[in-house]
Structure 1
Amino acid sequence: RGAMSDTIIGQGTKIDNLVQIAHNVRIGRNCIIAGLSGISGSVTVGDNVTMGGGVGLADHLTIGTGAKLAARSGFMSNVPAGEIWGGYPAQPMAEAMREIAALRRLARARKSGDGGKN
């Protein structure tokens, strides 16, 4: 029993080693939470959510049903149902990949000395 409210873990949810789950957390059914992850207080995780290893969730967030959270990502905002998010700070994965590609192009341009023209 929690001091204020109980932490509830849904049926069929699998939790790996070295996972910290704080007070007043609600985790849905059939979730997978990989090791070295941390869930801060008053977080709500929907059903069928997959969390990669080393994920950190700030307090009072809602992770929508069916969301997938990439490993080693830091979450400071809610994740809509069914979306794939990752990075630090976490964002929709398509945006994160575009940013990584842009940074790589910039690094290549700087290395080649063309100022980003090619």
Structure 2
Amino acid sequence: TFIQARPLDYLMVLAIKAPTFLASVVAQYYALALYGIAIPFVKLMLFLPLVFLAAALPISVAHLGTSQAAWLLFFSTNATPAKIVAYSLAAQLTFMLCNALIGLVFLPRASRELTALRAEDSSAPTTA
């Protein structure tokens, strides 16, 4: 897929992802201020993708530990380790709750679609 993609394809993906990432950085910037943590915006823009990447590694349960380690690695000079860990745990809980809420909102639709697929599979003729 990456080999077949044209530069225009990469630009389209970047155009779709950039506003979301920028909104995430802005939200993190202001949320960090609520915890009394001052991290320069540019530093946050540079290292936050690495924190997200570390959090996405499938090496821990519920992404606990890897995300906190990344926060400490990149931002421990900006606040005490206790504040950094507290913020990263609170942020992770917030995002998990938001994802659960989004999932609950779309659960009825997903259930209808899965039920329709199951009905189609059972009504399809079988060949022996």
Q: How does the TM-score come out when normalised to structure 2?
A: 0.28
Larger radius of gyration: 2
Question: Which fold has the larger relative contact order, with Cα–Cα distance below 8 Å and residues 6 or more apart in sequence?
Answer: 2
Q: How does the TM-score come out when normalised to structure 1?
A: 0.30
Greater share of strand residues, 1 or 2?
Answer: 1
Greater share of helix residues, 1 or 2?
Answer: 2
